[in-house]
A and B are shown apart, each in its own frame.
Chain A
Amino acid sequence: MTEPLATVLASAFHANGEGAPAWRDVPADWGPLLAARGRTPDVDDEPPGEDDPALRVLGPHGRQLGAVLGAVHEAGGAATLDRDAVGLFVATDVVDPEPDDILPALRASADKEGGFDLTRFFAGGFRSLHPLWPLAQLNNVAVGQVAIDLAVRGENAVFGSEADAGVRALLEAAWSVQEGHARAALVGATAPRAGAFAEARAYVEGWPADRPLGQGACAVLLGTSPAPRPRGAVSILAGTTGHGTGDDATAWEDVIEHALSSAGGPTPVVVHAPGEPALTEALGALGMASIERRDLEAGVGHLGPASALAVLAVLDARPGNEPAGAHLLLVRGPNGGRGALVLEVA
């Protein structure tokens, strides 16, 4: 195996929302998350006051993101580093408005047929929109607010917007550390899929109505760790992202082969991946059918961009409980984007 690009120094997660498969509902196997190394920061779920622009801009997903990034920032000692040398890499989903944010304006601007009347909107309907609401719809603005809160000023990027985006954020952060551009890098991701508009968007695209969308945010702090790394330490060896249609086994083979070869060709002891037929076919074609396979999403719901970070947080929160060696982490988004990470559990 190659030397790691970066090692997880701290991890955190947060789950939120009624009706969502929160972490408290996951199988007992994941229980140590609640008490072990991974942090579960408190998040104020109350709607922000009119006079609190920071919370207004963050929105529910941003508040979760801020909480988990703040937790790893503190736990990993990033606050003691030069602020210009701490990177911030985040994966975010499409930002959907909260119904309460816009419905009053839409209703106040409706014509007799229920359509939208521009004249009514500018005659007064628009006053129901908070002035900062449009800003909060930009994918990166919550990240900017987190950077302010943590005073982190180093390299940064925000990636959209499906499961593979989390892999992208992790890899770019790891490379930033490995290349010396950042001393340490915060990586966060959210699954902001709560709310009527998000549910409507997912539902009409085929998401089953009886299968709740996952909710939550995860974060890790990446840095360097001297060898030998402590038992249970989780490092990123290599990875890649790719794409293909949902039933495309070849696309899975491409990303798996590429990631493993970049990592020096280790044989994984565990594969963390969704249980889809095309992946099963690809693993069989690569001679990896017998390797243990786990599916985080079966337990916690689809976490979108946060899926890959959730697996890292699980591994990091259970030092010594996971088999040592290479772990292969695979994710796929609904538009066919795929991500593969090769991890080392010391």
Chain B
Amino acid sequence: MSADGPAGADGVPPVDWARIDPAARPDTQRVVVTGMGMVSSLGPDVETTFERAARAESGIRRLTRFDPTGLPCDIGGEIDHDALDPDEPEDAVGGSAWHLLRTAARQAGAYHLAQPITDRRRVAVVMGGHGCTPLRRNYLHAAHYVDEQGDTHLEALARDMRYDRHQGLRRSPDTAPLLLARQIDARGPVLPIVSACAAGTQAIGEGLRLIRDDRADLVVVGGAEPLLYYTYVVGFALLGALTRRYASPETASRPFDRKRSGFVIAEGAGVLVLERLDGAKARGREVLGEVLGYGDSADAFRITDPHPQGRGAFAAIRGAMRDAAVHAEDIGYVNAHGTSTAMNDPIESAALERALGEVAATVPVSSNKSMLGHAIGAAGAIEAILTFEGMRRGVVLPTRNLDAPDRKCRLDYVPHEARNHEHAIALSNSFGFGGQNGCLCLGRGS
């Protein structure tokens, strides 16, 4: 693929990317943000999270939800669910995924911002995330009813009241987005995206498309991920993706640093309300930002590793810039995927160097995961919100724990301290396990 589009090597004209031209796009085609809400390891809302991140504080600590003794990684970005929404505790069907999503959606104003839309089929929900974690006790209970031949004794299992009747629904990625759609009376498309670490970014991108394609007037987008339960943590630990070497929880996530050794898993939720600009104006809404463009791609390289030259990452970044019709010199900041893994950080840096060309070294790049940890399907939404908030405040968040950059990481990573920096256009990257990539081009929306 060339830098400017598919090469058309099959002898037919290449994809007509140029016909998507935001410069000529009317208000009916411009998509703005009118609500934002968040729950993260740094705090129960956007303001707290941003301000603590701006002070380079860490939300990583030793896990408390279960005893992690013996695990190769015993830390994470945990959320105190009990402190979130005491009037609406977790329920059996939606579980903690729904609890996190509902809390962030309320903050974002999703419940009242959608009310004036009279045709409820024009209100949609697009949400990244993978549902609730399968619980160890459910596996154990089911395992008791599998005999040596592998047959399951279902009726006996069904009589065992210890087996959780609702765990199937809780695990389904559909459940929390559908519950939200019912509560806000959104009768348009409900799209649960399950693209691993790219899901939150892809959800925002798909929401952008729904509005641009005139399939919806208002879309509640984002991601929610309640990850810090035993099964998930053990799974990621066995994969070898989590950091195993750290002096303290707070210093464990160190994107772009020479001593990084893996990511720190976290939970969280981020929700944004997207509307057409003309509709937002008509309803007198405050515009918090604009989604200018979206690019996505597949690495199609190796299931456990990103492409070594960042081919898929580059394609997604350039796709977002092309969709937004912006040039490298327009980019004021990049919110990096920045996982703190050995492979991601230099490859993402190389993809950014290639996509931004000569100006790459002058564009601030930072990783929120250095402070929050990695919330997988919610990460893209959380990071997009922090990017919008940074543009609104003229602040670039720092990369914590970056003491000595990897020699293959040659960009300006804003180490240790936030920076005052007015900027109007930013990129936000997400690259998933399995090779799915997404990039958003975001605007201040002034």
Query: Which A residues fall within an 8 A CB radius of B?
Result: 53-54, 57, 80-85, 88, 92, 94, 97, 99-100, 102-103, 106-107, 114-116, 118-119, 121-122, 126, 129, 131-135, 137-141, 143-145, 147-148, 150-162, 164-165, 168, 171-172, 175, 179-183, 196-197, 199-205, 209, 240-244, 251, 254, 258, 333-337
Contact = CB atoms under 8 A, between A and B. Distances in A.
B194 interface: yes
A148 B301 CA distance: 5
Nearest to A181: B15
Contact of A144 (B130, B158, B168, B433): B433
B165 interface: yes
Contacts of B436: 140, 143-144, 156, 158
A84 B213 CA distance: 22
A125 to B, nearest CB: 11
B136 A116 contact: yes
Nearest to A91: B194
A201 to B, nearest CB: 4
Contacts of A204: 157-158, 163-165, 168
Contacts of B192: 159-161, 165
A57 B303 CA distance: 8
A335 B172 contact: yes
B237 to A, nearest CB: 8
Given A106-B139, A122-B70, A242 B190 contact: yes
A80 B9 CA distance: 9
B116 interface: no
A82 B19 CA distance: 19
9 contacts: A121-B70, A140-B196, A141-B433, A153-B315, A157-B206, A175-B209, A200-B154, A201-B167, A209-B155
A202 B164 CA distance: 12
Contacts of A196: 142, 145-146, 150-152
B359 interface: no
Interface in B139-176: 139-140, 142-146, 150-152, 154-155, 157-158, 163-165, 167-169, 171-175
Given A114-B140, A118-B70, A155-B297, A82 B433 contact: no
B187 A94 contact: no
Contacts of A106: 139-140, 143
Contacts, number: 261
Contacts of B304: 53, 132, 135
A75 B193 CA distance: 28
Given A82-B8, A152-B300, A155-B296, A94 B70 contact: no
Contacts of B178: 243, 335-337
B26 interface: no
Interface residues of B, number: 86
Contacts of B175: 335
B182 interface: yes
A50 to B, nearest CB: 15
A103 B143 contact: yes
A318 B202 CA distance: 36
Given A131-B240, A196-B152, A116 B140 contact: yes
Given A138-B130, A148-B303, A197-B142, A205 B165 contact: yes
Per CB-CB distance, the 6 closest pairs between chain A and chain B, nearest first, are A144-B434, A134-B235, A160-B173, A196-B152, A139-B194, A201-B168
Contacts of B130: 138-139, 160
A333 B142 contact: no
B227 to A, nearest CB: 12
B188 interface: yes
Given A148-B303, A258-B121, 18 more contacts: A85-B15, A94-B168, A99-B146, A114-B144, A129-B238, A134-B234, A134-B235, A135-B433, A140-B432, A144-B299, A144-B435, A161-B172, A165-B192, A180-B19, A183-B15, A203-B157, A258-B188, A335-B172
Contacts of A80: 10
Contacts of A200: 142, 145, 152, 154, 157, 163
Contact of A99 (B15, B143, B195): B143
Contacts of B136: 116
Contact of B154 (A161, A164, A181, A199): A199
